[in-house]
Amino acid sequence: MNWKPPSSPAANPAARLSPSVGPRPKISETVNNPMAEIETRLCALEAALSQPAAADPAAAQAELRAALDRLRVSCAEQAAALELALHHPVEQMHLPGELLRLLPVPVLQLTHALRVVDANAAARALLGDGGPGGRSGVLRAVLSRSQARALTQALDAAFLRPDTAPAAPAVTLRIGRADGRRQSFHAHVIAAPGKLEAERATWWLVLFPLEAGTSAGNPELLRLLIESTIDPVALTDTDGRVVIANKAYAQPFGRIPAEIEGRRRSQFMDEKLARHLNGLETGVIAKRTALIVEETVLRPARAHDGQPGTPRPAHLLTERRPVFDDDGAVIGVFTRARDVTEELRTREVERLADRVFEQSSDAIVITDPELRVMRVNPAFERMSGLAPGANPELRLDALVTPRTGTRWIMAGMSETDSWLRQVLARAEGAWQGEVALHSHDDRQLTCWARITRLTDAAGTNLGHVAMLADLTLLRQTQADNQRMAQFDQLTGLANRRLLAERIDDWIGFASRAGQSFALMYLDLNKFKSVNDSLGHETGDLLLTVIADRLRAALTEGELAARIGGDEFVVLIGHADEAAAQRRAGELLDHLARPLDLPGLHNYRPSASAGIACYGRHGDSRDALLRNSDLAMYAAKSDRRAVMVYEPSMGAEALRELETRVALVSALENDEFELHFQPIFALDDKRPRGCEALVRWNRPGHGLVMPGAFLPVAAKAGLMPAIDRMVLRRAVAVQARWRWAGLVHADWTLSINQTASSLAAQDWAEVLEAALVRVGWKTSDDVAPPFGLQIELTEDQLAVDIPGAMEALQRLRKMGIALAIDDFGTGYSSLTYLRRMPVTTLKIDASFVRGIEADGDARQIVEAIIGLAKKFSFVALAEGIESEAALQTLIELGCDYGQGYLFERPLPQSAFEARFFGCEPAQVPNLDVALHARP
């Protein structure tokens, strides 16, 4: 206390507070009674405040101010007197009389051992008397050890001299009252003067009660604290009434805190919810323990305009704790609901992140700032076969290295520092690129790496994360695709695409260097026969052997390519025409060495080659390929091994192209017609049939013979269409003659077909449809003999075309005869004579012309006629142009013949007039003949 005692006698109670000897005298009424005086002044102030308003407000205010001043002076005087009394030596005083006895707070005089020397009535009411002789120990008996220790420290602090003593520590004591209740006090300690030794000193202990509200803190402060939190907070009493709540607690119910405080829950929320919450709090009160539950509620969301939006679910973690009073009794429940929606969402995101880390198909590596591997996912372990636990010093920059070819990465880098650390520094902490991942078995996996530095908010390097996508299969697929795009899959040689790129490169180099090179176009001879007769597997084996031989024979500066089928191209560098011809001859000789393949024993492959030189025969890729191709076809036509391109070959190729285009139009415009050449029996020289020969009545060119357009049609793939056209027309003509009675059942009409057309699945159906069309058969009966004969060349029969044999057998059942044309000029074999339904062997005209003077030809024809008779075939000679040849054939026993000696091929009308003796108008058309048939 800092009050100075006033100098007036009334304010100096030293004499009055001095202890007296003998019985305590009664206080005279004339003596100033401080408490009575304060009470009197308080009553006067209360009376002044309760009086009606005075007429003079200024006078009333002055009177009130005077009353307050008098009360203030009295309180100051009593405070000064108390200060003086408490600091008076103990030997000269007892508890200072009436003043201390009437104080409402407990006051005790203590020794250092906490023994009570004296106490006022309030202290005795608090602690009790303690029985006879026991009052001195009552305080020590109600204090805990920690409280006694704190109080002793406060006594020591108050004993020191005021100029050296630190501030006495604040001490709060919780004391059990004599009536059994416990109460908290603020202890104020003052050392009594007069004793220099602490063991003999005494202290005044004044206990100021702390009210229940004070122990909980300032109510306004408490309100401020609960409103400062965004979580719903409320304090309820044991009856379920809300004592205090914040806005967050009241808002879901559409209320403000003032509207719910002092009310039961059922008064502002749903009854069912109120019963549920009351039940939870009842359990908390009964068990005297906290209850934490997680629950989901609907909370109103706020739209952008501030209006209430659609309620959203919120996850709350609600904590309910019991509130105890000073005696340990539960007086309420404190509730706090914390919104953990974002925490749960964050936890779920972290869980998903962990799952992504564990289940990602890409390898993920987490390192420390020094690139040491700290954690990897299972995908990394599967890819690399490495587990960081087995090697704690594993480093990322040692596991992955730049792929070969990424030299730009290493440019300008230090050889002493890590390449990855340097590229990350250059890329400011984030880098991606193609790397090689080294596995445990020394394999290298091609990966696409994305490496990022991890930092905190302050930019501190926490480590790195690397994601590695395995590109090994992709790169292998790309390499395979590149090989497929640039190399022939069967032979491994360059294909047409790569050849085109290399030719362009060579043209560019040759034009700059002023040099030349040659392009050799090579085509195998009779490869189709081998492929068709022995199967595609044998044909592929032959192509593979040819490719291997070409590859082995190539020198530096040469390139071989397969551009399709049995066609190859060889680029010969630094070569003119003469050098290219020599080199082509060497390559052909190398290819012609004997070989053994299934079905081919000691087989010597042969080829025809055409050569075109850059500059002389063309200065572009297309020109060189086209001209070398033309030279190759010229060599094949002339039965020569090698030919160099000549300009005349281009003109021939142009004519062939024009012919090909015109043939397509000819089929559409019906420009083809049939001419007929009679077939005679040589014994009586009477006609027994005829052969239908196709002619092209080409506009602007006149009648074109088959030798001029059928080879072109075969190359263009037009033969099936021409064959079917010939078949339909021949059937129509034969039916017309038969229905008109111009020919008899022994008359044979022979037509030429190709084996590939016969092998077509619908060829027999086309024939049957034609027979039905002319009325020779119905759709479900068997046609009577029609006198139709199909001619196939010997080379075509030697080819094993799938389906051809079945088609020929079906023709035999239909009564269609089969003749082998040009017999003796091709791949003669007795096997197909035995297997196929052959009826006629046609001796080629090359053996018949000059047979009377050519002994070799006579022997060949005689052998063919003998073979026909052995197999019960008919022998028919083509190209009979002289009486001498006719007589020779008759002598050799030939059955039939045809040729210019008898008659050249004639148009249908001329043929009918010549051999049937009737004009065209006398021969009924097919429709009339059909109606006239029996």
Looking at residue 348, what is its pLDDT?
A: 83
Residues 715 and 760 in one domain: yes
In the sheet with 642-644, reading across from the earlier edge strand, the strands are 558-564, 567-573, 517-524, 607-613, 642-644
Task: Name, of 42-51, 62-71, 605-614, the range with top average pLDDT.
Answer: 605-614
Residues 395 and 258 in one domain: no
Residue of 381 and 482 predicted with greater confidence: 381
Least confident of 203-212, 332-341, 470-479: 203-212
Question: Does residue 90 carry a pLDDT above 50?
Answer: no
Domain end position, chosen among 210, 241, 265: 210
What local confidence, expressed as pLDDT, does residue 79 receive? 56
Instruction: State residue 407's pLDDT score.
Output: 41
Residues 793-801: what's their mean pLDDT?
A: 65
Among 5-19, 44-58, 559-573, name the one with the lowest average pLDDT: 5-19
pLDDT of 908: 93
Which carries the bigger pLDDT value, residue 136 or residue 771?
771
**Mean pLDDT along residues 295-303:** 66
User: Do the domain assignments include residue 612?
Assistant: yes
520 and 459 in a single domain? The answer is no
The answer as to whether 545 is a domain residue is yes
- Span 284-293, average pLDDT: 91
User: Contact, 877 vs 848, CB < 8 A?
Assistant: yes
Average pLDDT value for residue range 695-721: 90
Grade residue 173 by pLDDT with cuts at 50, 70 and 90: confident
Cβ atoms of 645 and 630 within 8 Å: the answer is yes
What is the per-residue pLDDT for 583? 94
User: Residue 479: pLDDT band by 50, 70, 90 thresholds?
Assistant: confident
pLDDT bin (cut points 50, 70, 90) of residue 19 is very low
pLDDT at 277 over 80: yes
Q: Give the domain CATH number at 765.
A: 3.20.20.450
- Judged against a pLDDT cut of 50, whether residue 734 lies above it is answered with yes
Cα separation of 357 and 352, whole Å? 8
Of 451, 475, 499, which residue sits at a domain end? 475
Query: What burial letters (b/e) apply to 277-313, b meaning 16+ CB within 10 Å?
Result: bbebbeebbeeeeebeeeeebeeeeeeeeeeeeeeee
Q: What is the pLDDT of residue 34?
A: 53
Same domain, 532 and 460: no
Question: Percent of the chain scored above 70 by pLDDT?
Answer: 77
CA distances from 902 to 680, 788, 913 (A): 8, 21, 15
The model's confidence at residue 214, banded by pLDDT at 50, 70 and 90, is: very low
Same domain for 460 and 492, yes or no, is: no
Query: Would you say residue 142 has pLDDT above 60?
Result: yes
Nearest Cα residue to 491 out of 573, 399, 557, 566 = 566
Domain holding 633: CATH number? 3.30.70.270
pLDDT of residue 216: 41
456 plus 603 within the same structural domain: no
Can you give the pLDDT at residue 927? 56
Coil vs helix vs strand at 611: strand
Residue 738 shares a structural domain with residue 807: yes
Q: What is the pLDDT of residues 421-442, one digit of tens each?
A: 888 878 788 888 888 888 877 7
Higher pLDDT, 138 or 68: 138
- Asked if residue 632 belongs to a domain, the reply is yes
**Does residue 892 lie in a domain region?**
no
> Tens of pLDDT along 804-817?
677 777 778 878 88
Distance CA 33, CA 568 (A): 140
Lowest mean pLDDT among 93-97, 447-451, 750-754: 93-97
Q: Which positions ≥6 away from 83 have C-beta within 8 Å? A: 1, 3, 5
- The percentage of residues in the chain with a pLDDT greater than 90, rounded to a whole number, is 27
Q: Is the confidence at residue 693, as pLDDT, over 80?
A: yes
- Residue 64: inside a domain, yes or no? no
- The parent domain of residue 540 ranges over 486-645
559 or 396: which carries more pLDDT confidence? 559
Alpha-carbon distance values, 424 to 369, 375, 720 (Å): 12, 20, 69
Rounded to the nearest angstrom, the gap between the alpha carbon of residue 647 and the centroid of all alpha carbons in its chain is 58
Predicted confidence (pLDDT) at residue 308 exceeds the cutoff of 70: no
Lowest mean pLDDT among 43-47, 231-235, 315-319, 678-682: 43-47
Q: b/e for 870-904, b at 16 or more Cβ within 10 A? A: eeebbbbbbbbebeebbebbeebebbbbbbeebbe
- Report residue 93's pLDDT band, with 50, 70 and 90 as the boundaries: very low
Q: Is the pLDDT of residue 786 over 50?
A: yes
Going from the C-alpha of 867 to that of each of 62, 789, 792, 873, 889, the distances in angstroms are 165, 20, 18, 8, 15
The torsion angles phi and psi of 369, rounded to 5 degrees, stand at: -60, -25
More confident residue, 39 or 386: 386
Question: Is there a single domain that holds both residue 618 and residue 542?
Answer: yes
Question: Is pLDDT at 727 greater than 80 in this prediction?
Answer: yes
Domain membership of residue 18 (yes or no) is no
Which of 51-55, 505-509, 863-867, 928-932 is least confident? 928-932
Going by pLDDT thresholds of 50, 70 and 90, the confidence category of residue 4 is very low
The type of residue at 490 is L
Q: What share of the chain is helix, strand, coil (3-state, %, to 5)?
A: 45, 25, 30
Q: Is the pLDDT of residue 229 over 60?
A: yes
- As a whole number of Å, the CA-based R_g of the chain is 64
The pLDDT value recorded for residue 578 is 92
Task: Please check whether residues 268 and 137 belong to one and the same domain.
Answer: no
Model confidence at 346: pLDDT above 80: yes
- Chain centre to alpha carbon of residue 909: 76
Task: Report the pLDDT averaged over residues 498-510.
Answer: 91
| Whether the predicted pLDDT of 375 surpasses 60 | yes
pLDDT classification of 694: cutoffs 50, 70, 90: very high
Clarify whether residues 710 and 801 are in a common domain.
yes
The highest-confidence range among 150-159, 658-667, 759-768, by mean pLDDT, is 658-667
For residues 736 and 817, state if they share a domain. yes
Predicted confidence at residue 869, as pLDDT, reads 92
Same domain, 765 and 803: yes
Tell me, what's the pLDDT at 50? Answer: 59
* pLDDT tens sequence across 618-656: 899 999 999 999 899 888 877 889 999 988 887 777 788
As given in the structure block, the two tokens for residue 633 are 């076809």
| Residue 832 resides in a domain | yes
Give the chain's domain count.
5
So what's the pLDDT on residue 134?
Answer: 62
CA 75, CA 69: separation in Å to the nearest integer?
A: 10
Query: Mean pLDDT across the stretch 184-213?
Result: 72
219 burial (CB, 10 Å; 0-12 / 13-18 / 19+) is exposed
Report the mean per-residue pLDDT for the chain.
Answer: 80
Q: What is the DSSP string of 499-524?
A: HHHHHHHHHHHHHHHT--EEEEEEEE
pLDDT at 733 over 90: yes
Band of pLDDT at residue 408, cut at 50, 70 and 90: very low
For residue 9, being part of any structural domain is answered with no
Q: What is the CATH number of the domain that holds 229?
A: 3.30.450.20
